Amino acid sequence: MSVLRKPEQFVSEGSKVFRQAPVNRASIEGWIRIAGGKAADAQRKANSASTRLGAAYDAVFNLSLAVLCRNGWRCTAADGHHAQALEAACAYAGIGSSVHDEVDAMRDMRNNQYQGIEPSPQDVEYALEVVTRVVPRLLAYLNS
């Protein structure tokens, strides 16, 4: 079982993804609201599979940005920023590596769109299961 890294460790390893920044409560609250809307979009069966999968992913990613901000970090647009942000947020929230691996698998499914691969109904269900497991834990961390 690998130990998930926080921004400090990524930076010490040479990552350009994170920069220290003041905690911004308005941004945190905005990301929480955005994540709520995205989670609702992911559940909406009338939406396409790609919209639902993307919305599920965005719900987790936006909460990850909120977790990082709460700890005085912001993400840059450097290569790998999504993967590192998700890992660091899971580390802060005490989410183990096995659940983080599921989040990372959802990220890979979302990125399939860049290869012209549409998500399957099973991919959408997997993403919804990940959201069900991860979103409440990130929200609990943010509200602690």
- At residue 2, the pLDDT reads 76
CB atoms closer than 10 angstroms to residue 131 = 23
CATH class of 7-142: mainly alpha
Neighbour tally for 31: CB within 10 Å: 23
The reported pLDDT for the residue numbered 1 is 54
User: Measuring CA to CA, which residue among 125, 83, 130 is closest to residue 102?
Assistant: 130
Distance from first CA to last CA of the chain, Å, rounded? 26
Provide the residue-wise pLDDT of the chain in tens; the chain has 144 residues. Answer: 579 999 999 999 999 999 999 999 999 999 999 999 999 999 999 999 999 999 999 999 999 999 999 999 999 999 999 999 999 999 999 999 999 999 999 999 999 999 999 999 999 999 999 999 999 999 999 999
Euclidean distance between CA atoms 13 and 68, whole angstroms: 18
